[in-house]
Amino acid sequence: MPRSRSVAREIPGVDWRLWPGELAQPDWTEIFAAPSDPPLRIHVDIGFGRGEFLTELARREPDAGFIGIERDFERVLKFARQLSRMPIRNIRLIGSAAEWAVREAFADASVTSFWINFPDPWPKRDHRRRRLIAPRFVAELARKLAPGGGLYVATDDADYAAAIDAVLSRVRGLYNAHSPDRFRNRRSAPHTTRFEQQWTQGGRQCFYFQYRSRAPSVATVLTADRPPRSVPGLPELPRKRA
């Protein structure tokens, strides 16, 4: 349950942020004060930005727990202030790098869904190593997903979309829920972000990926050194030189 903290004086109401000491495999049922039967459904929004997408998800499923992860302290603080004035009680916030939070805060096969909306594409070639959607991280997400759980990724960058497709399609334990399509250009969720609405209305193309978990225990990166498959509508990635 939330408790007062001297470091959170800037929050006008209840502070729904969680701190590093509370994230060593926490008991989410206890944190959300939820009944244990049926098991609490946990949804995670990575890089929640302004928070409107996460807020709408939480409103539509009030009996589930929603965790927002964002590494930008100012964004976390701003959204925490907004949440403190809202009647919503099923959102908790983690201010941290996503890789650390996912590893520390969630048990294997425990998460119903991960949402990653428009992560930074790091378009410069020298910066692409910083991209969030990378083989190790996606394998970690796959391990944390409950059987049948979903991984939803969206981007408006065609080059990044090609890289995302290559990464997701090479992780054992996940299957493409949009198959035979590699992706969709329209979101299957019932709502969008504010920026997303502006982009689509302006004619910008977006790419939506949806993968689901088979068996988290076998989620592992394929090691075969093969070039990514060509995807209609996406640029081909350069082949690895011998």
Domain boundaries, the chain: 12-218
Residue tagged active-site, from 108, 120, 156, 157: 120
pLDDT band at 201 (very low <50, low <70, confident <90, very high): low
- How far is 187 from 36, CA to CA, in rounded Å? 32
Which pLDDT value is given to residue 215?
59
Poorest-pLDDT segment among 47-56, 205-214, 218-227: 218-227
Q: Is the pLDDT of residue 75 over 90?
A: yes
* Residue 120 bears catalytic tag: yes
**What end-to-end distance do the CA atoms of the chain give, in Å?**
55
The pLDDT confidence band at residue 98, using thresholds 50, 70 and 90, is very high
Side chain identity, residue 231: V
Q: Global pTM?
A: 0.83
Class of domain 12-218: alpha beta
pLDDT, position 241: 36
CA distance 63 to 182: 32
Closest CA to 47 of 94, 116, 107, 122: 116
Give the CA-trace dihedral at 143, 147, 149, 150, to 10 degrees: 70
Amino acid of residue 213: S
At 112, list the tokens.
Answer: 């119903």
